[in-house]
Amino acid sequence: MARWEYLKAQAKQPTIGQLVDDAMWAIERDNSALKDVLPKEYARPALDKQRLGQLIDLVSNIKVGDEESRSKDVLGRVYEYFLARFANAEGKKGGEFYTPTCVVRLLAEMLEPFKGRVYDPC
């Protein structure tokens, strides 16, 4: 129920918002370090469930592990994109802020995960 493949298979269902919320609850239940951390508001009526399903489909088709994607440094480009967005949101010019420790750890775990699973709240 809290696996990406399951959510991907259910992406076109009108109940996808509740399924995502249920997955968040299940992840928190099984990972005490994440208790009360994950968002659980995907079932709210104002959220367009069709777009949520489209987003799941879109994310499912991103290739980051194949050889071609690694040669293009997809992860590096995504990171640079978010750094630029962060800089713009903060009203600072490039280089005037630092990378938060949690982001550094996440990137290191994604590049060379030695144990467990990596959770990316983005």
Residues 69-105 have pLDDT tens digits of: 666 666 677 777 777 776 666 665 555 556 667 777 7
Domain identity same for 48 and 82: no
- Which residues have CB under 8 Å from 57's CB, separation 6+? 8, 11
Residue 30 domain flag: yes
Domain identity same for 55 and 100: no
The number of folded domains in the chain is 2
Query: How far is residue 83's CA from residue 63's CA, in Å, rounded to a whole number?
Result: 21
Domain identity same for 44 and 80: no
Residue 122 domain flag: no
Domain identity same for 55 and 21: yes
Domain identity same for 80 and 53: no
16-51 residue pLDDT tens: 999 999 999 999 999 988 888 899 999 999 999 999
